Amino acid sequence: MDSLVESFVHYMAVERGLAPNTLESYERDLTAYVGFLERAGIVDVHRVEPVAITGYLQDLRERGRASATVSRNVASIRAFHSFLVREGVTADDPAVDLPSPRQTRRLPRVMTADEVVQLLAQPMGPSAIGVRDRAMLELLYATGLRVSELISLRVVDVNLAATFLQCFGKGSKERIVPFGRLAAQAVTDYVRNARPTLVKDATQSALFVNHLGERLTRQGFWKIIKKYALQANIHTVITPHTLRHSFATHLLENGADLRAVQEMLGHADISTTQIYTHVTHERLREVYMKAHPRARRNDGKDWSP
């Protein structure tokens, strides 16, 4: 079955053009699934029955896996068995009636405007690394890019004169995202004064590079943002995606159109973007309950059941 998983991942890469991160998730999920089947004595894909699949999903739950992880595994297993039927490997699809587990939709962690200001103020001094870090943080908050999109930027992808950039998101979909004056200033400073001292190879096309002059990695950027969050005395967990969530929420709080935010984030479905409207509603309610003199009971609790 391992070779069938490899064939499936290859098909999704070549025929569907899925992003590397998505392909890694498929491979990871299906490798674990096949391992479970083999430990249960099922080594032939033709012998897989619905009860074996539900047993695997139950095993995931018993091991404390989040509902989002279980749902992702359901999607991976469905796609895999559908592929096997389509390719004529198997005649029946044991996952066709597999129910999707219900997920509790958690609201994303969003920074306050003051926290963003504190974070962006941390990279200080004239060092090339400090100038680079300030440019990355400013650009990330100004555009709401995913960290993979940020580190994939090339110098030619950023138009500093017109203040917009071109990036390739999930599924290699291209989009154009504007950014503001402060981000433009920070990136201009980096490109003119810091990047030339970091780059060792004149053919390097990456916009953001590490101290060796090579393209910065996801792990490298995670360490950077974690360091500055600690310096800013922000004690909750701050990730690159937190800035993306904050970008979207702050835009909506200040009157931005939902469709425009969807376009800037690169969401294929507007329902994904609508999670941020729930965040803004929650924040508005929180402000109201704290500020309105007749919003709370004498014991300090609100009136909701």
Q: State the catalytic residues.
A: 146, 170, 241, 244, 267, 276
Amino acid at 54: T
Task: Tell me the C-alpha distance between 259 and 271, whole Å.
Answer: 10
Torsion of CA 23, 24, 28, 30, to 10 degrees: 10
Contact predicate 245/108, CB 8 Å: yes
Give the closest residue to 140 by CA, choosing from 155, 130, 153, 150. 150
φ/ψ of residue 159, rounded to 5: -100, 100
Distances (CA, A) of 23 to 19, 29, 32, 37, 257: 6, 10, 14, 21, 33
